[in-house]
Structure 1
Amino acid sequence: MIHPHIRWNSLLVAVLVGIVVVVVVWWAGPGALGGTEAPQGTVTPATVSVPADCANSGAKETVEFEFGSQNHTGSLDACGHDKGDKVDILVPTGIGSGTADVHLADVNVGDSPLRRPVGLVLLALSCISGAVYAFLVQRGPRRPTVAA
């Protein structure tokens, strides 16, 4: 039972703030909960020509590949391959001459369709937890009752 000395307006404020937070994140769109669009391009086989050690931060390997009946060199954002390894890369659309930035084809970049609903559910649960905490703080400690 709720004690009469609890101020309902403080509990109501916590609930309303939680609802406002969830609605604002919902209207902000998919970007509010993270995620990027997957890069577009064509999957092409490539050969690692200059491997990179994974001990270095931001390591990039150099790969050679054929695209559009021309030989190209690419900067691959990966590490740990040996020289001569065959990898499948994603060549961006509109590749020109020179070194192109490429990605491994089997890496899933972007977000899953469940990211947004799960994120909103977790956000709503955290808002509910905050409201319950505000209620418990406002109520104060309970005094034990002695059985007669």
Structure 2
Amino acid sequence: MLAVAAFAGILVLAVAWWIGPDLFGRPPAPEHRITQATVTQPVSCTEAGDGETVQFEFNGETRSGILNACGHSQDELLDVAVPVDAGEGLIDVRLAATAPGHSDLRRPVGLVLLALSCAGGGIYSYLVRRGPRRRAVLI
């Protein structure tokens, strides 16, 4: 019975590994490019506003954009996701960490948690199969 639980856990991990990036988060979408930006006009989180103004390099030229965020410092460096098809004027950008699939830890942490849950299920299966243990009474 323990071999069946171990095989099932290994099978689940193999299928998760085979499915790959789509299971725990996609890689960065091609419609965004990650670049480093400098905050030029920070906004306090207590103020209601359109967002912070950032400046970044895009296609070889310095561009400005509106970041829907708050609480950053003047001249703070941030990684932002810029739409590839950005037009002229201010560009709506977002933090790179919130771009779909940008987090590098999502896949390995998800796979480790899946492995731990498989191990936990296997141990539970073993304990249920084994049943309660009787204590020996020493006289």
Q: TM-score range by the shorter chain?
A: 0.5 to 0.7
Identity over aligned residues, as a percent? 39
Q: How does 1:96-115 map to 2 (within 5 A)?
A: 96-103=87-94, 110-112=102-104
> Is residue 53 of structure 1 aligned with residue 45 of structure 2?
yes
Q: How does 1:1-148 map to 2 (within 5 A)?
A: 8=1, 11-34=2-25, 36-37=27-28, 39-45=32-38, 47-48=40-41, 51=43, 53=45, 60-63=50-53, 65=55, 68=61, 72=64, 74-81=65-72, 85-88=74-77, 90=80, 92=82, 93-103=84-94, 110-112=102-104, 116-147=107-138
- After TM superposition, the runs of 4+ consecutive aligned structure 1 residues lying more than 6 A away are none
- Structure 1 gap ranges (5+): 1-7
Give TM-score scaled by structure 1 length: 0.60
How much does 1:120 deviate?
2.9
Q: Secondary structure of 1:124's match?
A: helix
Distance 1:117 1:41 in 2: 21
Deviations 1:39-98 (A, max 9, x none): 52554545217x352587xx75142648637x75x220320257xx34446473443124
Contact 1:87 1:104 (C-alpha < 8 Å) held by counterparts: no
Deviations 1:5-43 (A, max 9, x none): xxx3xx444333212211111011123223642852554
Root-mean-square deviation (Å): 3.8
2:40 aligned partner, one-letter code: T
- Structure 2 gap ranges (5+): none
Q: Secondary structure of 2:136's match?
A: coil
Contact 2:35 2:56 (C-alpha < 8 Å) held by counterparts: no
Contact 1:45 1:86 (C-alpha < 8 Å) held by counterparts: yes
